[in-house]
Amino acid sequence: MTPETASSSVAVGNPPVRRLAAWPVADLRDLATEHGTPLYVLDLDRVRENADRLRRAFPDAEIEYAVKANAIGCVLETIADTGLGAECAAAGEVVRALDAGFDRVRYTAVNPPARDLDRVVDLAAEHDIAITIGASDTLDRLAERGWAGELFVRVNPGVGAGHHAKVRTGTDPKFGVPGERAAAVVSEAAERAFDVRGLHAHAGSGILDADDLDTHRALVARMGELTAEIVDRGIDLDTVIVGGGFGVPYRESASPLDLDSLATATCEALGGVDGSGDPGVKLGIEPGRYLVADAGVLVTRVNTVKETPETTVVGVDAGMTDLLRPALYDAHHAIRSLARDAGERETMSTAVAGPVCESADALARGRELAAPTRGDLLAVGNAGAYGYEMANTYNSRPRPAVVALDDGESRVCVRRETIDDLTRLEVER
């Protein structure tokens, strides 16, 4: 299989990445005025554009959206309508994907709790759900529950890529069956009458530059070799899924991912084992952030401006409870002022800090911004992936609202959480 990739030219209105500067400032100000801050704004039209670009680059591949990137209902429904499948990391994601209308759902079981397996097996009795295992004893646990359906075996490839050590799954023993044992686990599953469909491997999240691409290519080639080894054992495989989230340029100076080159390199690596260019299996990919990251921004309001000997601290009402990535990964997100006269102000070095009682609670440090004043609105870019999805209620801070833009209209798709919501599950004495 060597799918023909689409032309490298990009349709007008569908650039390979949407920069923060492309968001309409006046519209963001109006939404913040109407709905308050912190506020996530998601552009569903952009999600569709990203899905279309993936389809054009990988026309013959099985594409499954990694639901963990953003599981909000309006996002899932939009992606389901494009015809993509769903890759889920927990039973809750399986339920939400089915509720959103996905026809194809795969559950990737990573040390799965018993309640997750119970729920997924129950759902599989009525829905088309495949399961990916990452340990041989999961076969026993599935057999105990009477399930022997479509199965993928996750392989630990021994190579990792991605934007941070915490997301380079390909080298972490937590994930997948060791490569040297994978063929034996596949054989065992086939002998036990599981419907073994294929293999799965994941290098890491945020694959973007040349080094990441080399690692990705090595992973895919290894999967091609392993596929040939298993086929030689007399076991037919249908699909090889090469996970690894396709990256987006969080820094404004970084170039976007060359998706066509990635597609070509992936297909060549998978089909290059015997020189024929045809591995005899279908390619599967599972992008997450690539679909949703640049489709979202976080809008926050300045509540404090404090001059210190080290820097100007810009205190805002969004923090690590709203956008965790900077605190967790030292992640960079573009930030711009939405003030009407921002272009006329001098710029200055700032630390943009949230309201959480942790020194890690900073959205940015050493960041040049138009001189801030209390009441200004700031926009934080590339917040559509792992933004609201990782939001939390530490310090008893309610989570923000989410507004979706869809075909020129806006609507609330997640209401702002309240303090009453935070205590709703507590049991009175």
Q: Which residues are catalytic?
A: 357
Could you write out the three-class secondary structure of 188-228? HHHHCCCEEEEEEEEEEEEECCHHHHHHHHHHHHHHHHHHH
Instruction: Decide: 272 and 227 in contact? Cβ < 8 Å.
Output: no
Distance, first Cα to last Cα, the chain: 64
Most distant CA atoms of the chain, gap in Å: 71
The DSSP symbol for 346 reads: P
Residue entry with tokens 């090889």: 240
Alpha-carbon distance of 154 to 133, in angstroms, equals 6
Helix (H, G, I), strand (E, B) or coil at 69: helix
Alpha-carbon distance of 48 to 78, in angstroms, equals 7
* Token pair listed for 180: 């040297």
Alpha-carbon distance of 201 to 199, in angstroms, equals 7
Alpha-carbon distance of 196 to 150, in angstroms, equals 6
Q: E strands along 238-385, which residues? A: 239-246, 282-285, 296-307, 312-316, 335-337, 347-353, 362-370, 377-380
Give the phi and the psi of residue 173 in degrees, each rounded to 5.
Answer: -65, -10
Alpha-carbon distance of 21 to 149, in angstroms, equals 48
